[in-house]
Structure 1
Amino acid sequence: MRPGTTGTLKAVFFLFASICAWYSGYLLAELIPEVSLSSAAYSIRNIGERPVLKAPAPKRQKCDHWTPCPSDTYAYRLLSGGGRDKYAKICFEDELLIGEKTGNVGRGINIAIVNYMTGKVMATQYFDMFEGDNSGQMINFIQSAPSKSLLFMVTHDDGASRLKEDAKKVIEGLGSKHIRNIQFRSSWVFLTAKGLQLPEEIQRESINHSDSARNRYSGWPAEVQIEGCIPRKTS
């Protein structure tokens, strides 16, 4: 075959291939929706980007515990007051028994009595230990708690100045190991029970004394707190 003829055939073949390629592209563009093309282009642009993973919001637990209490227990959290403006709190089964929001917290020793069998609050009261003679009233209140009841005690401001010996004996008889050490403006929290024995491993008491060199607030120590889970069936 002559050289001129070969060159002509190559040119015709190249032109035919180009027309076929263009027509194939045209058909493909007509068959694929525009939305799919846009999505594909967007995906290509974001191949190098790392996906943003959002952790789920932590589920709130009863009385603001970090971990939930078992279903067959009661959740509790006791927090003493701090300074003049941070009021004491007693939370039981996610119910605020004593606190600023409930309007029943005051200077001195704050006490809540709960029916152990039902988990319902029976009475709350605070006893001023800075002014007045209120130790006797507090003893009567504590002794009024029936058998099978839980008692929660927290201080706000000062719970020691007018706390008498007979009141200390009553609280000591309920298992307190620190009531005799309580001082002016000490932060103190205490959990006890009447007519039943609480497990040894649960948090029952904590105290922090005023120290001018280490006070968190002017004239007051830092708050103290205890929290945990009380089994619904105890000995």
Structure 2
Amino acid sequence: MRVPVLLRFVALVFVLVITCVFISSYTSFNMKTLHSHRWINLVTKEKRFVKNKCGLLKSCAANFFAFKMNSGAASVVGPTLCFEDELIMSPVKDNVGRGLNIALLNGTTGKMLKQDCFDMYAGDPASLVKFLKEIPEGVLVMVASYDDPGTKMNDEIRALFSKLGSKYAKEIGFRDSWVFVGARDIKDKSPYELYLKNHPDFNKYDGWPEMLELEGCVPRKVF
């Protein structure tokens, strides 16, 4: 009876040895993995991965609002406006349209006040004039073009946008791309604006320039 017992013991030892060799040879989990600095690095990397508001590359200071916006892409994809990590206008929300898409936000609290879109190809420009004239002080204005922002753009509308801080309002034309953030009581031209002229030699799409993307941090208005 002792021989079978001995054989079983030898077999068990053999299995244990093979198992240890297998673990040592085919897994990367060894004592180096347990070193404290490796674990510290992993934790540090986890802490570094922090999602900023609206997906910005850098976070905004406490007294700033985060925003990110895209103009429309040709006449196919509508614009997208994000403010303080909230999607306020987009094709998904089904609240954008051809022409100019405009959102008004409280410059102190960041609260959404009003949003609308104005057809600048076949619409009545008088409705946009009225909208712009009624913007009160202390309000942030976000503007994104889609398809055609310029056909019905008259001198009065250009002047109103210029007063909001736009430096390109006087140049907006047929099928141009434009994104802009301004304010009623701004003292100088806004630093948050991009503009691209519709030009057949440089257009990305057939008949339209490429989509524009603008992001940044807007200072909160403190009274």
Same topology, TM > 0.5: yes
CA contact (8 A) 1:113 1:150 kept: yes
Whole-angstrom CA distance in 2 between matches of 1:188 and 1:87: 13
- Write the distance in 1 (CA, Å) between the matches of 2:94 and 2:57: 26
Which residue in 1 is equivalent to 2:96? 105
- The Cα shift of 1:60 comes to 3.0
Unaligned stretches of 5+ in structure 1?
1-25
Match of 2:53 among 62, 65, 82: 62
CA apart distance, 1:211:
1.7
Cα displacement (A) at 1:90: 1.3
* TM-score normalised according to structure 1 size: 0.74
Deviation at 1:214, TM superposition (A): 2.2
SS at match of 1:130: coil
5+ long unaligned stretches in structure 2: 1-8
User: What is the total number of aligned residue pairs between the two structures?
Assistant: 203
Structure exhibiting the larger radius of gyration computed from Cα positions: 1
Q: C-alpha deviations, 1:176-215, integer Å up to 9, x for none?
A: 11111112100001111123558x8x84111011121221
Map 1:137-216 → 2, pairs under 5 A = 137-195=127-185, 203-216=191-204
Structure 1 residues 118-127 or 143-152, which shifts more? 143-152
Shift of 1:73: 1.7
Aligned to 1:96: 87
1:210 alignment partner AA: N
Secondary structure (helix, strand or coil) at the match of 1:168 reads helix
State the shift of 1:42 in Å. 2.8
Does residue 30 of structure 2 align to residue 40 of structure 1? no
Distance in 1 between residues matched to 2:23 and 2:123, nearest whole Å: 76
Given that 1:186 and 1:210 are in contact with CA atoms closer than 8 Å, whether structure 2 keeps it comes out as yes
- Which residue of 1 is the match for residue 209 of structure 2? 221
Counterpart of 2:177, as a letter, is S
CA distance in structure 2 between the aligned counterparts of 1:197 and 1:63, rounded to whole angstroms: 27
Secondary structure of 2:218's match?
strand
Q: What's the counterpart of residue 63 of structure 2?
A: 72
Aligned partner of 1:116 in structure 2 is 107
Q: Is the 8 A contact 2:164 2:186 kept in 1?
A: no
- Cα RMSD over matched residues? 3.3
**Secondary structure, in 3 states, of the residue corresponding to 1:126?**
strand
